[in-house]
Amino acid sequence: MQYKPAILPSGSDTEKRSDSCPNGWVKSPLNNCYRFVSSPKASWKTAQGFCLDEGGTLATMDNADETYWLKGYRLFHANLHFSAWIGGYKKNGQWLWHGRITDSTIVATDWAPSEPNNANGNEDCIETYGSGHVWNDLACHEPRGFICEKDLDF
Ligand SMILES: [Ca+2]
Ligand SMILES: [Ca+2]
């Protein structure tokens, strides 16, 4: 069955049109486009599949600037205060950003205190959670909202 996200409530910033991001995507000052999906919640893999189908990936925090902009944006918008998958996952013990073609090593991290803790021995995907939208490693099958990212359309 194809994954179909719910449309966020009307009036949300994510529905505003942008010059360079598709409708439903938010443009950042760093010239990335983000799409916030709060429901229905999905596993990391299903979420990643949706983002790939949309021409992007689950969001990748490529540096501290990107992390802090996205956190600030979410803190400022009440409808974005949900736990969300981003594109980090663990492969052979190493944390990577999942790319459309190749993965990349995670350089700038934003782990919550005492995370990643691999709590049940199977926490191989990264969610953002809590009021600060910091990172937690979590079992990939857990249902969560998620954030996709793609490049600007030129
Ligand atoms: Ca990124
Ligand atoms: Ca954890």
Query: Which ligand has the minimum distance to the alpha carbon of residue 56?
Result: 1
All domains of the chain, ordered by start, with CATH? 23-151 (3.10.100.10)
Sorted by sequence, the CB contacts under 8 Å of residue 21 that are 6+ apart come out as 27, 33, 150, 152, 153
Instruction: Using DSSP bridges, classify how beta strands 94-97 and 84-91 pair: parallel, antiparallel or unpaired.
Output: antiparallel
Alpha carbon of 113 to ligand 2 centroid (Å): 10
Kindly report the average pLDDT of the chain as a whole number: 91
Mean pLDDT of 137-150: 98
Residue 18 pLDDT class (50, 70, 90 cuts) = very low
Burial of 128 (0-12, 13-18, 19+ CB in 10 A): buried
pLDDT at 15 over 50: no
pLDDT at 6 over 70: no
Alpha carbon of 55 to ligand 1 centroid (Å): 14
Query: Which ligand has the minimum distance to the alpha carbon of residue 28?
Result: 1
Question: Is the bond preceding residue 113 a cis peptide, omega within 30 degrees?
Answer: no
Q: Which of 134, 102, 136, 133 is nearest to 119 (CA)?
A: 136
Alpha carbon of 135 to ligand 2 centroid (Å): 8
The reported pLDDT for the residue numbered 16 is 46
- The 10s digit of each residue's pLDDT in 120-132 is 899 999 999 999 9
- The 10s digit of each residue's pLDDT in 58-75 is 999 999 999 999 999 999
CA distances from 131 to 18, 64, 109, 134, 135 (A): 27, 18, 17, 8, 11
Query: Which ligand has the minimum distance to the alpha carbon of residue 116?
Result: 2
Alpha carbon of 118 to ligand 1 centroid (Å): 24
Cα–Cα distance for residue pair 143/141, rounded to 1 Å: 6
Three-state DSSP class for residue 32:
strand
Query: Which ligand has the minimum distance to the alpha carbon of residue 118?
Result: 2
The reported pLDDT for the residue numbered 12 is 47
Q: What is the DSSP letter of 112?
A: P
Mean pLDDT of 51-62: 97
Lowest-confidence segment of 16-30, 87-101, 128-142 by average pLDDT: 16-30
Residue 8 pLDDT class (50, 70, 90 cuts) = low
Mean pLDDT of 69-86: 96
- Tell which wins on pLDDT, 108 or 1: 108
